[in-house]
């Protein structure tokens, strides 16, 4: 993976952004980013739970040399539960948890050998999984949500 350093830099960029959200007012934190959309609170909870999910089901198993347990999820249900869970957690704790899970992912991925990082694996459903694809997908996912939050804060 020739672009691994750049991917990791982009993947890590979420951390200072999420930490900067501590300065939001409670009203901003809990207000929908647009009519019918999630709040910043729900978005951060959603990101945190996806990170936790991929630690447990994909990245930790790969780093320890065990088979993936990752299976196709009902994304809509997972996302609804993540958003509902987020509002039960104090902002500082949710931010700390999000940052901690992202750090854990980074630590696990950077601890892998190049062969592990570059490998193509089969998940629990028999679908291909690769660290590079995972990073590219979630960097895009992070950017999408970051753009939503930045736009909300700019208006």
| Length of the chain, in residues | 155
3-class SS of residue 122 = strand
Where residue 119 falls among pLDDT bands split at 50, 70, 90? very high
Where residue 82 falls among pLDDT bands split at 50, 70, 90? confident
Domains of the chain: 37-154 (1.20.120.450)
CA distance 91 to 35: 22
Contact, 83 vs 42, CB < 8 A? Answer: yes
The pTM is what?
0.93
Residues with Cβ within 8 Å of residue 46, at least 6 apart in sequence? 38, 79, 82, 83, 86, 145
CA distance 50 to 142: 11
Work out the burial of residue 22: count CB atoms within 10 Å of its CB; fewer than 13 is exposed, 13-18 middle, 19 or more buried: exposed
The pLDDT, as a whole number, for residue 146 is 98
pLDDT in tens, 90-103: 999 999 999 999 99
The mean predicted confidence, pLDDT, of the chain is 94
Residues with Cβ within 8 Å of residue 27, at least 6 apart in sequence? none
């Amino acid at each position: 993976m020739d672009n691994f350093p750049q991917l990791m830099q982009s993947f890590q960029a979420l951390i200072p952004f999420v930490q900067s959200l501590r300065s939001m007012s409670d009203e901003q934190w809990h207000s929908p980013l647009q009519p019918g959309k999630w709040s910043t609170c729900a978005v951060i909870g959603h990101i945190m739970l996806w990170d936790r999910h991929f630690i447990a089901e994909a990245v930790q198993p790969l780093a320890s040399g065990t088979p993936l347990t990752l299976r196709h999820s009902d994304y809509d249900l997972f996302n609804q539960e993540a958003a509902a869970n987020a509002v039960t957690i104090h902002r500082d704790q949710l931010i700390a948890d999000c940052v901690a899970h992202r750090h854990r992912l980074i630590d696990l991925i950077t601890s892998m050998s190049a062969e592990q990082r570059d490998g193509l694996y089969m998940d629990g459903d028999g679908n291909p999984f690769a660290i590079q694809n995972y990073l590219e997908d979630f960097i895009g996912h992070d950017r999408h949500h970051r753009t939503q939050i930045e736009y909300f804060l700019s208006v």
